Structure 1
Amino acid sequence: MKNLLYILLVTLTFTACRSSRALLTKQLDNKLSTPFYKNQFTGILVIDAETKDTIYDRESDKYFIPASNTKIFTLYTAIKTIPDHIPALKYIESNDTLYFEGTGDPSFLHPYLRDSTAFTFLKSKTNLVYVTDNFQDKKYGPGWAWDDYQWYYSPEKNALPIYGNVVMINTNQGIQVTPPYFKDSVLNMNHTDQRKETSNLFFYPTQGRDTLEIPFITSTVTTRSILENTLNQKITTRPGMPKGTKKTLRGINADSLYIRMMHESDNFIAEQLLILTASELKDTLSGAMARTYILENQLADLVQSPRWVDGSGLSRYNLFTPQNMVEVLNKLYIDLPRERLYTIFPAGGLSGTLKNRFAGNQKPYIYAKSGSLSNTYCLSGYLITNSGKTLIFSVMNNHFRNSTSDERTHLEAMLQMLRDHY
Structure 2
Amino acid sequence: MSRKIFPFLFTLVFTLSGCGASKGIRVKKYFDDDFFDRQFTGFALYDPGKDKMIYACQADKYFTPASNTKIFTLYAGLQLLSDSVPALHYSKTADTLYIEGTGNPLFLHPYFKDRAVLDFLKECEEPVALSSGNFHDDRFGPGWSWGDYPYYYSPERDAFPVYGNVVTVYKSRGKIKTVPEYFKDAVKVQADILRPRDLRRNIFHVPQNLRDTLEIPFILSPELTCQLLSDTLKKKIYTTQTALPRTKKTLYSSIASDSLYQRMMYVSDNFLAEQILLMSAAAVSDSLDSKKAIDHILERFLPGIPQKPRWVDGSGLSRYNLFTPESIVYVLNRLYHEQPKERLFRIFAAGGQSGTLKGFYKGKNGIPYLYAKSGTLSNNHNLSGYLITSSGNVLIFSYMNNHYMHPTGEVKKRMETLLRHIRDHY
Q: Fold-level match, TM-score > 0.5?
A: yes
Is 2:182 the partner of 1:178? no
1:371-410 matches, within 5 Å, as 371-410=375-414
Residue 54 (structure 1) aligned with residue 56 (structure 2) = no
2:68 maps to: 69
Name the structure 2 match of 1:154.
154
Q: Residue 242 of structure 1: CA displacement?
A: 5.0
What residue number does 2:188 align with? 187
CA contact (8 A) 2:154 2:217 kept: yes
1:343 corresponds to: 346
- 1:190-269 maps to which residues of 2 (within 5 A)? 190=191, 191-241=193-243, 243=245, 245-251=247-253, 252-269=255-272
Which moved further from structure 2: 89-98 or 128-137? 89-98
Give the percent of matched residue pairs that are identical in Structure 1 and Structure 2.
Answer: 49
Residue by residue over 1:19-76, the C-alpha shift from the partner in whole angstroms, topping out at 9 and shown as x without a partner, is: x963623xx2121111111111111111112111111111111110000000000000
Matches within 5 A, 1:1-400: 22=23, 24-25=25-26, 28-126=27-125, 127-173=127-173, 174-190=175-191, 191-241=193-243, 243=245, 245-251=247-253, 252-362=255-365, 363-400=367-404
Q: Equivalent residue of 1:100, what SS?
A: strand
Contact 2:99–2:244 (8 Å) recurs in 1: no
Counterpart CA distance in 1 for 2:241 and 2:161 is: 18
Q: CA deviation at 1:89?
A: 0.4
Aligned to 2:23, what secondary structure does the other structure show?
Answer: helix
Counterpart amino acid of residue 227 in structure 1: L
Q: Deviations over 1:310-352 (max 9, x none)?
A: 1000011100001110010001101111111111000000000
Q: How far did residue 195 of structure 1 move?
A: 0.7
Cα distance 1:242–1:102, how it changes in 2: closer, same or farther (>3 A)?
closer
1:210 alignment partner, SS class:
coil
SS at 1:364 equivalent:
coil
The CA deviation at 1:369 is 0.2
Q: Secondary structure at the match of 1:371?
A: strand
Kept after mapping to 2: 8 A contact 1:92/1:244: no
Structure with higher Rg: it is 1
How large is the RMSD of aligned CA atoms in angstroms? 1.2
SS in structure 1 opposite 2:318? coil
Give the drift of 1:111: 1.0
What corresponds to 2:13 in structure 1?
none
Structure 1 residue 172: deviation in Å?
2.4
- 2:273 alignment partner AA: A
Cα distance in 1 between the residues matched to 2:123 and 2:243? 20
Query: For structure 1, which segment, 77-86 or 280-289, has the greater mean C-alpha deviation from structure 2 after superposition?
Result: 280-289
Q: CA 1:419 to 1:248, structure 2 compared with 1: closer, same or farther past 3 Å?
A: same
Q: 1:378 to 1:244 in 2, by over 3 A?
A: closer
* 1:131 counterpart letter in structure 2: S
Letter in 1 for 2:186: S
3-state DSSP of counterpart to 2:280? helix
Count how many residue pairs are aligned between Structure 1 and Structure 2. 401
Q: Hey, what's the Cα distance between the residues in 1 that align with 2:283 and 2:246?
A: 18
Q: Which residue of 2 aligns with 1:413?
A: 417
Distance 1:268 1:177 in 2: 20
> CA contact under 8 A between 2:285 and 2:292: conserved in structure 1?
no
**CA–CA distance in 2 between the matches of 1:23 and 1:283?**
51
Rounded to whole Å, the distance in 2 between the matches of 1:356 and 1:49 is: 27
Query: For the residues of structure 2 that align with 1:344 and 1:279, how far apart are their CA atoms?
Result: 23
Q: CA separation of 1:186/1:39 partners in 2, compared to 1, >3 Å: closer, same or farther? A: same
Is contact 1:40–1:397 with CA below 8 Å preserved after alignment?
yes
- SS of residue matched to 1:340: helix
> What is the rounded CA distance, in whole Å, between the counterparts of 2:151 and 2:104 in structure 1?
21
State the Cα deviation string for residues 225-278 of structure 1 (Å, max 9, x = none). Answer: 111101111111111235461000001210111001000000000000011011
User: What CA distance in whole angstroms lies between the structure 2 residues aligned with 1:154 and 1:24?
Assistant: 41
Q: What do residues 146-179 of structure 1 show as CA deviations (whole Å, max 9, x unaligned)? A: 0100100000001000000000000123211001
In the alignment, is the contact (CA less than 8 A) between 1:24 and 1:417 conserved in 2? no
Work out the CA distance in 2 between the residues paired with 1:186 and 1:388: 54
Q: CA shift at 1:187, angstroms?
A: 1.3
Q: Which has the higher helix share?
A: 1
Q: With the length of structure 1 as denominator, give the TM-score of the two structures.
A: 0.93
